[in-house]
Amino acid sequence: MKNNMLFIVIFLLSSNVGFTHKNDFAKLESQFSSKEIIPIYNFDSLEHLLYTNANKTFIVNFWAMWCGPCIKELPLFQEYEKNNPNAEVLLVSLDFVEDIETKLKPFLKLKGITSKVVLLDDPDANVWINKIDSNWSGAIPFTIIFNNKSRSYHEGAFKDYIDLENKINNTINK
C-alpha cells in the first residue's frame, strides 16, 4: 500500500497535476473523481486553485481533523455547495500525509463529507500563509471566498449556515 501511495505521489509531482489555468476545479474533479485519492500538494501547486477568472463562487477552507471548530463547520460548506450549484468548495486538509489512509479517509467517510478534499503538505507555513493573506495568523479554520471580482478572508469558524451564507453574499455582491 505504501508503494502505491509513493507511486501516486511521484506521479502527481512529476505530472504537476496539469494545472495550467488558475482555479481549474473541473480538472481536479475529473482527475480525482473517485474520491478514493486525496491529492497531495505543496503550496506552489495549490496556489493556482486560489484564484479565478470565472464569475462562479469559490470557497476554499483550510482545516484539520484535530481542529474542533473546523470539524463543526465542515457540514456548513457541504450544505452550501449542495444548495448552490454555481459554487465550488475545496477543503484543504492540513493533516499529515501518513494519516490519509488510516485517519483522513475514514474520517471523511464517517462524517459524510463529499466535497473535494486535498492535502497541503508544505512545511514552510510562514511563507505560504503570508502569500495567502498577510493578516492571517495561521490559525484554522481559515476560509477564502472569492470569484473573479471580489475576495474575502475569514479566520475562525462560521457560527452557522446563515453566517456562512451572509459572508458569501457580502463577498460576491460587492
Q: Which amino acid appears at position 172 of this protein?
A: I
- Which cell numbers in the block locate residue 137? 495568523
pLDDT at 3: 41
Q: Which domains does the chain have, with CATH numbers?
A: 2-172 (3.40.30.10)
pLDDT at 97: 96
Specify whether the CB–CB gap between 92 and 120 falls below 8 A. yes
| pLDDT mean for each 10 residues of the chain (174 residues) | 38 36 45 66 95 93 98 96 95 97 96 95 93 96 96 97 97 88
- Bridge-based pairing of strands 40-41 and 142-146 is unpaired
Q: In whole angstroms, give the CA distance from residue 104 to residue 40.
A: 12
The residue to which cell 492535502 is assigned: 119
Number of CB atoms found within 10 A of residue 56's CB: 17
pLDDT at 14: 37
pLDDT at 36: 72
Looking at residue 157, the DSSP 8-state letter turns out to be -
Q: What is the pTM of this model?
A: 0.80
Question: Exposed/middle/buried for 5, CB within 10 Å: 0-12, 13-18, 19+?
Answer: middle
What's the maximum distance between 2 C-alpha atoms anywhere in the chain? Answer: 48
Looking at residue 103, the DSSP 8-state letter turns out to be I
pLDDT at 20: 34
